[in-house]
Amino acid sequence: MPEVRPGTSESGSPRSGALRTGGAETGLLDQFGRVATDMRLSLTDKCNLRCQYCMPEAGLDWLKKDKLLTAAEIVRLVGIGVERLGVRELRLTGGEPLVRADLVEIIAALRQNHPSLPISLTTNGVGLAKKAQALADAGLSRLNVSMDTLHHDAFLQLTRRPFLDQVLAGIEAASAAGLAPIKINAVLLRGINDGHAAELLQWSLDRGYELRFIEQMPLDADHGWTREGMITAAEIRTLLSGTFELAPDPRSRDGAPAERFEVRHRGSDALLGTVGIIASVTEPFCADCRRTRITAEGKVMSCLFSRTEVDLLALLRAGASTEDDDAVASRWQDAMWAKPRAHGMGHPGLGDADFVQPDRSMSAIGG
Protein backbone atom coordinates (compact mmCIF):
# COMPACT_ATOMS: atom_id res chain seq x y z
CA MET A 1 0.00 0.00 0.00
CA PRO A 2 1.63 3.27 -1.06
CA GLU A 3 2.32 5.79 1.71
CA VAL A 4 1.31 9.44 1.86
CA ARG A 5 4.47 11.43 1.56
CA PRO A 6 5.35 13.96 4.26
CA GLY A 7 4.71 17.43 2.83
CA THR A 8 2.29 16.19 0.19
CA SER A 9 -1.43 15.80 -0.15
CA GLU A 10 -2.90 12.29 -0.30
CA SER A 11 -2.69 12.46 -4.09
CA GLY A 12 1.08 12.79 -3.70
CA SER A 13 1.17 16.31 -5.11
CA PRO A 14 3.25 18.80 -3.15
CA ARG A 15 1.40 20.89 -0.55
CA SER A 16 2.21 24.47 -1.32
CA GLY A 17 4.86 25.92 0.95
CA ALA A 18 5.41 22.60 2.72
CA LEU A 19 8.94 21.97 3.91
CA ARG A 20 9.84 18.74 2.22
CA THR A 21 13.58 18.64 2.65
CA GLY A 22 13.36 16.90 5.99
CA GLY A 23 16.94 15.54 6.02
CA ALA A 24 17.65 11.98 6.94
CA GLU A 25 14.20 11.30 8.48
CA THR A 26 12.21 11.88 5.30
CA GLY A 27 15.14 12.18 2.88
CA LEU A 28 14.68 10.43 -0.43
CA LEU A 29 11.59 8.50 0.55
CA ASP A 30 9.39 6.74 -1.99
CA GLN A 31 5.72 5.88 -1.89
CA PHE A 32 6.51 2.28 -0.92
CA GLY A 33 8.41 3.32 2.21
CA ARG A 34 11.96 2.81 0.91
CA VAL A 35 14.53 5.51 1.65
CA ALA A 36 17.42 5.98 -0.78
CA THR A 37 20.71 6.66 0.99
CA ASP A 38 23.09 5.28 -1.63
CA MET A 39 23.85 7.82 -4.38
CA ARG A 40 25.23 6.64 -7.74
CA LEU A 41 26.55 9.52 -9.76
CA SER A 42 27.65 9.19 -13.37
CA LEU A 43 30.56 11.47 -14.25
CA THR A 44 30.49 10.93 -18.00
CA ASP A 45 28.68 8.96 -20.69
CA LYS A 46 31.96 8.37 -22.58
CA CYS A 47 33.90 5.13 -22.48
CA ASN A 48 37.05 3.64 -23.98
CA LEU A 49 35.65 0.08 -24.12
CA ARG A 50 32.67 -1.24 -26.07
CA CYS A 51 31.40 -4.08 -23.88
CA GLN A 52 28.88 -6.12 -25.84
CA TYR A 53 26.34 -6.06 -23.00
CA CYS A 54 26.50 -2.27 -22.71
CA MET A 55 27.70 -0.22 -25.71
CA PRO A 56 27.36 -0.59 -29.45
CA GLU A 57 30.55 -1.15 -31.42
CA ALA A 58 30.43 2.36 -32.89
CA GLY A 59 29.95 4.03 -29.51
CA LEU A 60 27.11 6.45 -28.82
CA ASP A 61 26.55 10.14 -29.51
CA TRP A 62 28.55 11.57 -26.63
CA LEU A 63 27.08 14.46 -24.69
CA LYS A 64 28.48 17.91 -25.43
CA LYS A 65 30.66 19.25 -22.61
CA ASP A 66 28.19 22.01 -21.68
CA LYS A 67 25.48 19.38 -21.08
CA LEU A 68 27.60 17.55 -18.48
CA LEU A 69 27.61 18.34 -14.78
CA THR A 70 30.70 20.41 -14.04
CA ALA A 71 32.98 19.57 -11.12
CA ALA A 72 31.44 22.42 -9.10
CA GLU A 73 27.90 21.20 -9.88
CA ILE A 74 28.85 17.67 -8.84
CA VAL A 75 30.23 18.92 -5.53
CA ARG A 76 27.10 21.01 -4.93
CA LEU A 77 24.74 18.18 -5.79
CA VAL A 78 26.52 15.74 -3.49
CA GLY A 79 26.38 18.39 -0.76
CA ILE A 80 22.60 18.70 -1.22
CA GLY A 81 22.28 14.92 -1.12
CA VAL A 82 24.37 14.49 2.00
CA GLU A 83 23.35 17.56 3.98
CA ARG A 84 19.64 17.73 3.18
CA LEU A 85 18.55 14.37 1.89
CA GLY A 86 20.29 11.77 4.03
CA VAL A 87 22.70 10.36 1.42
CA ARG A 88 25.18 8.19 3.32
CA GLU A 89 27.36 6.74 0.59
CA LEU A 90 28.46 7.79 -2.86
CA ARG A 91 29.56 5.76 -5.85
CA LEU A 92 31.11 7.52 -8.85
CA THR A 93 30.56 5.74 -12.12
CA GLY A 94 29.90 6.31 -15.82
CA GLY A 95 30.52 5.64 -18.75
CA GLU A 96 34.11 5.33 -17.71
CA PRO A 97 34.86 7.77 -14.87
CA LEU A 98 38.63 7.60 -15.44
CA VAL A 99 38.22 9.37 -18.79
CA ARG A 100 37.17 12.50 -16.91
CA ALA A 101 40.29 14.65 -16.67
CA ASP A 102 39.15 16.33 -13.44
CA LEU A 103 38.31 13.09 -11.58
CA VAL A 104 41.05 13.46 -8.96
CA GLU A 105 40.07 17.10 -8.26
CA ILE A 106 36.40 16.10 -7.93
CA ILE A 107 37.23 13.40 -5.39
CA ALA A 108 39.52 15.74 -3.45
CA ALA A 109 36.79 18.40 -3.25
CA LEU A 110 34.17 15.87 -2.18
CA ARG A 111 36.50 14.49 0.47
CA GLN A 112 37.24 17.95 1.81
CA ASN A 113 33.53 18.69 2.22
CA HIS A 114 32.59 15.24 3.54
CA PRO A 115 35.48 13.79 5.55
CA SER A 116 33.68 10.60 6.56
CA LEU A 117 31.53 9.90 3.48
CA PRO A 118 32.32 6.52 1.88
CA ILE A 119 33.24 7.40 -1.73
CA SER A 120 33.75 4.54 -4.15
CA LEU A 121 34.43 4.29 -7.86
CA THR A 122 33.35 1.76 -10.48
CA THR A 123 35.84 1.62 -13.33
CA ASN A 124 36.89 -0.62 -16.19
CA GLY A 125 40.48 -0.19 -14.99
CA VAL A 126 41.90 1.12 -18.30
CA GLY A 127 44.41 3.82 -17.33
CA LEU A 128 44.01 3.04 -13.63
CA ALA A 129 47.67 2.10 -13.17
CA LYS A 130 48.69 5.74 -13.66
CA LYS A 131 45.95 7.22 -11.49
CA ALA A 132 45.46 4.80 -8.60
CA GLN A 133 47.82 6.52 -6.16
CA ALA A 134 46.42 9.98 -6.92
CA LEU A 135 42.87 8.69 -6.41
CA ALA A 136 43.83 7.19 -3.06
CA ASP A 137 45.63 10.39 -2.03
CA ALA A 138 42.58 12.46 -3.02
CA GLY A 139 40.45 10.47 -0.58
CA LEU A 140 38.78 7.72 -2.60
CA SER A 141 37.58 5.06 -0.15
CA ARG A 142 37.43 2.01 -2.43
CA LEU A 143 37.10 0.70 -5.92
CA ASN A 144 35.23 -1.83 -8.08
CA VAL A 145 37.02 -2.88 -11.24
CA SER A 146 35.03 -4.56 -13.98
CA MET A 147 36.90 -7.46 -15.57
CA ASP A 148 35.01 -10.37 -17.05
CA THR A 149 37.83 -12.76 -17.98
CA LEU A 150 41.57 -13.33 -17.67
CA HIS A 151 41.84 -14.45 -21.31
CA HIS A 152 43.01 -11.93 -23.89
CA ASP A 153 40.92 -13.34 -26.73
CA ALA A 154 37.70 -13.41 -24.68
CA PHE A 155 38.43 -9.92 -23.27
CA LEU A 156 38.83 -8.61 -26.82
CA GLN A 157 35.62 -10.29 -27.93
CA LEU A 158 33.67 -8.96 -24.93
CA THR A 159 35.00 -5.41 -24.82
CA ARG A 160 36.09 -5.04 -28.46
CA ARG A 161 39.36 -3.54 -27.18
CA PRO A 162 42.75 -5.24 -26.43
CA PHE A 163 43.31 -3.69 -22.99
CA LEU A 164 43.32 -6.65 -20.58
CA ASP A 165 46.95 -6.08 -19.52
CA GLN A 166 46.17 -2.45 -18.69
CA VAL A 167 43.26 -3.56 -16.51
CA LEU A 168 45.42 -6.11 -14.68
CA ALA A 169 48.11 -3.48 -14.10
CA GLY A 170 45.43 -1.08 -12.84
CA ILE A 171 44.13 -3.56 -10.29
CA GLU A 172 47.66 -4.19 -9.04
CA ALA A 173 48.33 -0.47 -8.74
CA ALA A 174 45.08 0.09 -6.85
CA SER A 175 46.00 -2.64 -4.44
CA ALA A 176 49.49 -1.17 -3.96
CA ALA A 177 47.89 2.24 -3.31
CA GLY A 178 45.88 0.73 -0.45
CA LEU A 179 42.47 1.03 -2.11
CA ALA A 180 41.16 -2.04 -0.32
CA PRO A 181 38.92 -3.95 -0.39
CA ILE A 182 39.00 -4.24 -4.19
CA LYS A 183 35.91 -5.73 -5.75
CA ILE A 184 35.95 -7.25 -9.21
CA ASN A 185 32.71 -7.08 -11.23
CA ALA A 186 32.11 -9.71 -13.91
CA VAL A 187 29.29 -10.29 -16.37
CA LEU A 188 29.17 -13.73 -18.02
CA LEU A 189 28.14 -14.14 -21.65
CA ARG A 190 27.30 -17.57 -22.94
CA GLY A 191 29.96 -19.12 -25.13
CA ILE A 192 32.47 -16.33 -24.44
CA ASN A 193 33.48 -16.32 -20.78
CA ASP A 194 31.00 -18.57 -18.95
CA GLY A 195 33.71 -21.24 -18.88
CA HIS A 196 36.05 -18.82 -17.08
CA ALA A 197 33.95 -18.24 -13.96
CA ALA A 198 35.74 -20.65 -11.61
CA GLU A 199 39.17 -19.54 -12.81
CA LEU A 200 38.29 -15.87 -12.23
CA LEU A 201 37.07 -16.72 -8.74
CA GLN A 202 40.29 -18.60 -7.89
CA TRP A 203 42.37 -15.69 -9.19
CA SER A 204 40.38 -13.22 -7.06
CA LEU A 205 40.55 -15.38 -3.93
CA ASP A 206 44.33 -15.79 -4.33
CA ARG A 207 44.73 -12.01 -4.26
CA GLY A 208 42.12 -11.15 -1.62
CA TYR A 209 39.76 -9.44 -4.08
CA GLU A 210 36.00 -9.91 -3.76
CA LEU A 211 34.53 -11.13 -7.02
CA ARG A 212 30.89 -10.33 -7.81
CA PHE A 213 29.09 -11.82 -10.77
CA ILE A 214 26.35 -9.57 -12.18
CA GLU A 215 23.52 -11.13 -14.15
CA GLN A 216 23.37 -9.59 -17.60
CA MET A 217 20.52 -7.09 -17.65
CA PRO A 218 18.60 -5.81 -20.67
CA LEU A 219 20.49 -2.51 -20.69
CA ASP A 220 22.61 -2.94 -23.81
CA ALA A 221 22.35 -0.25 -26.44
CA ASP A 222 22.08 -2.97 -29.13
CA HIS A 223 18.95 -4.49 -27.47
CA GLY A 224 20.50 -7.94 -27.93
CA TRP A 225 19.63 -9.29 -24.46
CA THR A 226 17.33 -12.29 -24.25
CA ARG A 227 16.11 -14.11 -21.16
CA GLU A 228 17.01 -17.46 -22.73
CA GLY A 229 20.51 -16.24 -23.60
CA MET A 230 21.43 -14.69 -20.26
CA ILE A 231 23.31 -16.64 -17.62
CA THR A 232 21.24 -16.76 -14.46
CA ALA A 233 22.45 -16.64 -10.86
CA ALA A 234 21.45 -20.30 -10.49
CA GLU A 235 23.61 -21.18 -13.48
CA ILE A 236 26.53 -19.18 -12.08
CA ARG A 237 26.31 -21.18 -8.84
CA THR A 238 26.34 -24.39 -10.90
CA LEU A 239 29.32 -23.20 -12.96
CA LEU A 240 31.28 -22.62 -9.74
CA SER A 241 30.18 -25.80 -8.04
CA GLY A 242 32.50 -28.03 -10.08
CA THR A 243 35.43 -26.53 -8.16
CA PHE A 244 33.98 -24.80 -5.09
CA GLU A 245 31.39 -25.25 -2.40
CA LEU A 246 29.29 -22.15 -1.78
CA ALA A 247 27.48 -21.57 1.52
CA PRO A 248 25.31 -18.50 2.24
CA ASP A 249 27.37 -15.86 4.08
CA PRO A 250 25.81 -15.57 7.56
CA ARG A 251 26.50 -11.81 7.67
CA SER A 252 23.48 -9.60 7.00
CA ARG A 253 23.00 -8.48 3.39
CA ASP A 254 21.92 -5.07 4.66
CA GLY A 255 20.43 -3.80 1.41
CA ALA A 256 23.46 -4.83 -0.68
CA PRO A 257 22.62 -5.92 -4.24
CA ALA A 258 25.00 -8.89 -4.06
CA GLU A 259 24.06 -12.08 -2.29
CA ARG A 260 27.31 -13.22 -0.69
CA PHE A 261 28.53 -16.80 -0.37
CA GLU A 262 31.40 -18.26 1.60
CA VAL A 263 33.74 -20.19 -0.70
CA ARG A 264 35.58 -23.42 0.09
CA HIS A 265 37.25 -25.95 -2.18
CA ARG A 266 35.11 -29.04 -2.56
CA GLY A 267 35.69 -31.41 0.37
CA SER A 268 37.71 -28.85 2.39
CA ASP A 269 36.76 -26.91 5.53
CA ALA A 270 39.17 -24.05 4.88
CA LEU A 271 37.37 -20.78 4.14
CA LEU A 272 38.94 -19.18 1.07
CA GLY A 273 36.90 -15.97 0.98
CA THR A 274 33.55 -14.88 -0.40
CA VAL A 275 31.89 -14.38 -3.77
CA GLY A 276 28.88 -12.19 -4.54
CA ILE A 277 26.15 -12.81 -7.09
CA ILE A 278 23.94 -9.92 -8.17
CA ALA A 279 20.75 -11.51 -9.48
CA SER A 280 18.97 -8.36 -10.63
CA VAL A 281 16.92 -10.25 -13.21
CA THR A 282 16.04 -13.61 -11.69
CA GLU A 283 16.05 -12.79 -7.96
CA PRO A 284 15.37 -9.04 -7.87
CA PHE A 285 15.92 -7.09 -4.68
CA CYS A 286 13.75 -4.05 -5.51
CA ALA A 287 11.89 -4.22 -2.17
CA ASP A 288 15.16 -3.41 -0.41
CA CYS A 289 16.56 -0.92 -2.94
CA ARG A 290 18.33 2.10 -1.41
CA ARG A 291 19.76 3.64 -4.57
CA THR A 292 19.24 7.01 -6.23
CA ARG A 293 20.98 7.60 -9.54
CA ILE A 294 22.07 10.83 -11.20
CA THR A 295 23.12 10.73 -14.84
CA ALA A 296 26.10 12.64 -16.19
CA GLU A 297 23.77 15.38 -17.41
CA GLY A 298 22.16 15.81 -14.00
CA LYS A 299 18.97 13.77 -14.34
CA VAL A 300 17.56 11.73 -11.48
CA MET A 301 16.76 8.13 -12.31
CA SER A 302 14.93 6.51 -9.43
CA CYS A 303 15.67 3.04 -10.85
CA LEU A 304 18.14 1.57 -13.38
CA PHE A 305 15.13 0.69 -15.50
CA SER A 306 13.34 4.06 -15.17
CA ARG A 307 11.70 5.35 -18.28
CA THR A 308 11.18 8.75 -16.70
CA GLU A 309 13.98 11.11 -15.76
CA VAL A 310 13.86 14.31 -13.76
CA ASP A 311 16.25 17.09 -14.66
CA LEU A 312 18.19 18.84 -11.88
CA LEU A 313 20.77 20.58 -14.08
CA ALA A 314 18.52 23.46 -15.15
CA LEU A 315 17.66 24.15 -11.50
CA LEU A 316 21.32 23.97 -10.50
CA ARG A 317 22.14 26.47 -13.22
CA ALA A 318 19.24 28.77 -12.29
CA GLY A 319 21.05 30.00 -9.17
CA ALA A 320 23.15 29.04 -6.19
CA SER A 321 21.21 30.48 -3.24
CA THR A 322 19.82 28.44 -0.34
CA GLU A 323 16.39 28.70 -2.00
CA ASP A 324 17.80 27.27 -5.22
CA ASP A 325 19.31 24.36 -3.27
CA ASP A 326 15.89 23.86 -1.62
CA ALA A 327 14.30 23.66 -5.06
CA VAL A 328 16.87 21.10 -6.26
CA ALA A 329 16.36 18.99 -3.13
CA SER A 330 12.61 19.15 -3.48
CA ARG A 331 12.63 18.09 -7.14
CA TRP A 332 15.02 15.24 -6.31
CA GLN A 333 12.60 14.11 -3.61
CA ASP A 334 9.69 14.27 -6.06
CA ALA A 335 11.61 12.09 -8.51
CA MET A 336 12.36 9.49 -5.86
CA TRP A 337 8.82 9.54 -4.48
CA ALA A 338 7.71 8.24 -7.90
CA LYS A 339 10.20 5.32 -7.84
CA PRO A 340 8.39 2.25 -9.17
CA ARG A 341 7.76 -0.63 -6.82
CA ALA A 342 9.76 -3.01 -8.99
CA HIS A 343 11.37 -3.18 -12.42
CA GLY A 344 8.87 -5.69 -13.78
CA MET A 345 11.14 -8.65 -14.51
CA GLY A 346 11.09 -11.77 -12.44
CA HIS A 347 8.74 -10.53 -9.70
CA PRO A 348 5.93 -12.77 -8.54
CA GLY A 349 2.74 -11.36 -10.05
CA LEU A 350 4.67 -9.09 -12.39
CA GLY A 351 5.67 -11.01 -15.49
CA ASP A 352 8.18 -9.90 -18.12
CA ALA A 353 5.19 -8.59 -20.06
CA ASP A 354 5.29 -5.51 -17.79
CA PHE A 355 8.90 -4.86 -18.60
CA VAL A 356 9.96 -2.35 -21.24
CA GLN A 357 13.68 -1.87 -21.85
CA PRO A 358 14.69 1.74 -21.19
CA ASP A 359 16.09 3.82 -24.02
CA ARG A 360 19.32 4.44 -22.18
CA SER A 361 22.08 1.86 -22.11
CA MET A 362 23.90 1.04 -18.88
CA SER A 363 26.79 3.33 -19.89
CA ALA A 364 24.43 6.29 -20.22
CA ILE A 365 22.75 5.64 -16.87
CA GLY A 366 25.73 4.89 -14.68
CA GLY A 367 25.88 1.38 -13.29
Asked if 82 interacts with ligand SAM (CB under 6 A), we say no
What DSSP letter does each residue of 266-308 carry, written as one string?
TT-----EEEEEE-TTTS--GGG--EEEE-TTSEEESSTT-S-
Q: In this chain, which of 43, 54, 90, 236 binds ligand SAM, going by CB under 6 A?
A: 54
Asked if 92 interacts with ligand SF4 (CB under 6 A), we say no
Give the binding range for ligand SF4 (CB under 6 A) out of 32-40, 90-98, 129-137, 241-249: 90-98
Asked if 187 interacts with ligand SAM (CB under 6 A), we say yes
What is the C-alpha to C-alpha distance for residues 126 and 164, in angstroms, rounded to an integer? 8
Give the binding range for ligand SF4 (CB under 6 A) out of 13-21, 43-51, 60-68, 136-144: 43-51
- 55 binding partner (options ligand SAM, ligand SF4, none; Cβ < 5 to 8 Å by kind): ligand SF4
What is the C-alpha to C-alpha distance for residues 236 and 277, in angstroms, rounded to an integer? 8
What is the C-alpha to C-alpha distance for residues 201 and 209, in angstroms, rounded to an integer? 9
Q: Which is nearer to ligand SF4, 54 or 107 (CB)?
A: 54
Task: Write out the binding residues for ligand SAM, residues 130-169 only, by CB under 6 A.
Answer: 146
Asked if 96 interacts with ligand SF4 (CB under 6 A), we say yes
What is the C-alpha to C-alpha distance for residues 233 and 277, in angstroms, rounded to an integer? 7
Asked if 50 interacts with ligand SF4 (CB under 6 A), we say yes
What is the C-alpha to C-alpha distance for residues 65 and 309, in angstroms, rounded to an integer? 20
Asked if 284 interacts with ligand SF4 (CB under 6 A), we say no
For residue 46, the minimal CB distance to ligand SF4 (Å) is 9
Say whether 245 sits in a helix, a strand or coil: strand
Say whether 136 sits in a helix, a strand or coil: helix
Pure H helices in 89-211: 103-113, 128-138, 152-159, 164-176, 197-207
What is the C-alpha to C-alpha distance for residues 252 and 254, in angstroms, rounded to an integer? 5
What is the C-alpha to C-alpha distance for residues 194 and 80, in angstroms, rounded to an integer? 42
Q: Cβ contacts of residue 195 below 8 Å, gap of 6+?
A: 239
Give the binding range for ligand SAM (CB under 6 A) out of 152-160, 189-197, 211-219, 288-296: 211-219
Q: Which is nearer to ligand SAM, 185 or 274 (CB)?
A: 185
- 219 binding partner (options ligand SF4, ligand SAM, none; Cβ < 5 to 8 Å by kind): ligand SAM
Q: In this chain, which of 28, 39, 55, 316 binds ligand SF4, going by CB under 6 A?
A: 55
Show the site string, 319-358: x = touches ligand SAM by CB under 6 A, - = not: ----------------------------------------
* Contact (Cβ atoms closer than 8 angstroms) between residue 361 and residue 55: yes
- Tell me which residues touch ligand SF4 (CB under 6 A): 47, 49-51, 54-55, 94-96, 124, 146, 362-363
